[in-house]
Chain A
Amino acid sequence: MSAASLYVDRASPIHRLDPRSTLALVTAVFVAGYAFDDPRYAAVPLAAAFVALVAVGGWQNFKRLSPIVAALFLVGLVVWPAFTAPGGPTLVAVGPVVLSERELLFALARSERIAVFIVGGLLFVTTTANEEIVRGMRQVGVPYAFCFAVGTALRLFPTFLEAAGTVKQAQEARGLDLSDGGPIARLRRSVPLLIPVFMTAFRNVNTQSMALEARGFDTRRERTFYGARPLSAADWAVVVAAVGVVVGVVWLRLSGYGML
């Protein structure tokens, strides 16, 4: 696995799941995170996803992304009070800034929702290798040609990422300064970086296509995957549990729980 990937190679129970079961599990987390406007309820899927992420070895991934999570959480807290109706006692009244209890709770719940989505997504990519993602897509019925394109792109991506980094270093060594000036000046200076990266990439498209066709590549024929297997009892248990969580969460919401 490339250094750019967030996949962590462990033997945790979630790692051993079929990618379809992991997706069902993460979808249940997403639905639970989406369902509630009350931050006390929204905190439950966030805590569950975070504990699961740490348990499967995703702490380093979380640490790497923590500035983004913190920034998005903060933006949610700042932005959402302006987009919801006030209610309850006034908590802050400093000049033009007036913040009611309802506005604060609503914003907190939305920020938690953002965090649930990021941590849930991180749980999926931490426990599911790229090859498994592609295999899972095929097994849920995504057309083979599309899966092949995704799989090939995932394999080419680290190579191009490395090439992009090398070109950047080479141009900077020649005196290219990307950190000076306004946004338009900086954008203009990126032209010498972009051309070598994508011309190198496209130069080989014809030969790669010929190589594929020489090996009998045909997008319309059914293909098999080496790691493809039916869902095990554990996979089915996770799917059933995920469906149960979704049903439970929807029932709670329809019964009036978790609302402001």
Chain B
Amino acid sequence: MREILTMWRETRMVMLVAVVAAVYAAVLIPFQTFQIIPGITSIRPANVFPVIFGIMFGPAAAWGSAIGNLIGDVFGGTFGPGSAGGFVGNFFFGLVGYKLWGNLRPLSSGVEPDFREAAGRQAAEYVIIAVTASAACAAIIAWVVDLLGLVPFAVLGPLILTNNALAAVVLGPPLLYLTYPRLKELGLLYPDVLREEDLSEGNAGVSTTLAWVLVVAPLAWVGIGTALSADAGPELTSVAALGAVGMLVVLAATVLIGERLTGILSRT
């Protein structure tokens, strides 16, 4: 997990953060394919970026997605206290991918995410990662926005989850198929950029168990949070407490899970 902080020593990782952030924000604003609630939420193709960038660029994608969303708020005119939730939510949107790829045994394909071999298993693994990352982002943003008393968790949580997951699931496989080999050739995959001593595979058994905890926790958070919020009074204390627990579980799991792409690349 220390690569989340030590990556800032690497010039290429810093540049990757900046480029991920700029690309995410640049595509987030003009491309809105389907308005769910006009002016509030729409299905955006850019929501695929944190997931696929996360798998390829690791921690740079997490920071880049968070900054990109913030830039989107600044340029889109929605900068405010809710932007803090957007920052943290999008950080985890980009973080989950590289933590889960290869750790979801027995489902994991154990190969590079290029959809060229074991495509069926890669697709299943990718869909789980995309939905998990979307749920983590949705739960965190909906929790913060609910705490701020702007929109109830029950309204925003399921909306963001659907919105994010749809774009990530539909667009992720073709984009990874087309771009992964080129980005690998450019030497931009995070195992190629980060120092060896900064990357930790951790204990495989522990990582697998925690990876499944990370899959279940955000989805349960959205589900239970929605149910609690729908029945809650104005104080919404139960949603606040659930969010605190959910945040701790998601944070602990992501801290303790080791990454697997380095090992996969070294075998090929």
Contact = CB atoms under 8 A, between A and B. Distances in A.
Interface of A: 4-6, 30, 34, 37, 61, 64-65, 67-68, 70-72, 75-76, 79-80, 83-85, 106, 110, 113-114, 117-118, 120-122, 124-125, 130, 133, 143, 145-146, 148-150, 152-154, 156-157, 159-161, 163-165, 168, 178, 182-184, 186-188, 190-191, 193-195, 197-199, 201-203, 205-206, 208-209, 212-213, 217, 219-220
A125 B33 contact: no
A125 B76 CA distance: 10
27 contacts: A34-B149, A65-B77, A71-B38, A71-B40, A75-B40, A83-B152, A113-B148, A114-B151, A121-B83, A145-B8, A149-B14, A149-B63, A149-B64, A152-B22, A153-B22, A153-B67, A156-B18, A160-B23, A161-B30, A182-B34, A183-B34, A183-B43, A188-B174, A193-B31, A194-B48, A197-B23, A205-B188
Main secondary structure, interface of B, reads helix
B137 to A, nearest CB: 17
Contact of B19 (A84, A118, A201, A219): A201
B216 interface: no
A160 B150 contact: no
Main secondary structure, interface of A, reads helix
B45 interface: yes
Interface string B176-217: 001100110011100000000000000000000000000000
B130 to A, nearest CB: 13
A113 B149 contact: yes
A31 to B, nearest CB: 9
Interface string B224-236: 0000010011101
A157 B26 contact: yes
B188 A6 contact: no
Interface in B139-167: 148-152, 154-155, 166-167
B84 to A, nearest CB: 11
Nearest to A179: B33
Contact of A121 (B43, B78, B179, B188): B78
B71 interface: yes
Contact of B74 (A6, A65, A146, A217): A6
Given A145-B8, A148-B14, A197 B27 contact: yes
Contacts of B17: 149, 153
Nearest to B154: A83
B106 interface: no
A153 B186 contact: no
